[in-house]
């Protein structure tokens, strides 16, 4: 399990189970483990997600953006839910910066 800190200073966990879920369901994500962690620590944008989740977004190539969905439970705990690559960013949902 790895822990990184969100832009709000909350420790965010990426468990082995969650990473396995991401990699099994989205095989193209296999080589992006470090990028997923980096996106939470140093995103270009943080978007409002569903059900209180946040989405850290980081460009990884021309017109390709890594989206990492995570939840901050409180100031001391949070976890990554999933991650995927998309061609667009819904900047209308931006909550940070």
Q: Are 70 and 12 in contact (CB under 8 A)?
A: yes
52-59: long-range contacts, CB 8 A cutoff, minimum separation 24: 53/81, 54/6, 54/95, 55/93, 56/6, 56/7, 57/89
> What is the pLDDT, as a whole number, of residue 36?
98
Residue 77 pLDDT: 97
User: Tens of pLDDT along 3-43?
Assistant: 999 999 999 999 999 999 999 999 999 999 999 999 999 99
Q: Provide the pLDDT for residue 17.
A: 96
Does the reported pTM lie above 0.75? Answer: yes
pLDDT at 72: 98
Q: Where are the domains of the chain?
A: 2-96
Q: For the structural domain made of 2-96, what CATH number should be given?
A: 3.30.2310
What are 56-79's pLDDT values in tens digits? 999 999 999 999 999 999 999 999
């Amino acid at each position: 399990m790895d822990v990184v800190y969100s832009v709000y200073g909350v420790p965010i966990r990426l468990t082995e189970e969650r990473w396995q879920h991401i990699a099994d369901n989205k095989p193209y994500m296999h080589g992006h483990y470090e990028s997923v962690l980096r996106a939470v620590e140093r995103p270009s944008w943080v978007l409002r997600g569903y059900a209180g989740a946040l989405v850290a977004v980081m460009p990884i190539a021309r017109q390709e953006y890594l989206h990492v969905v995570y939840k901050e439970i409180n100031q001391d705990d949070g976890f990554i839910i999933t991650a995927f690559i998309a061609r667009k960013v819904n900047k209308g949902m931006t909550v940070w910066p």
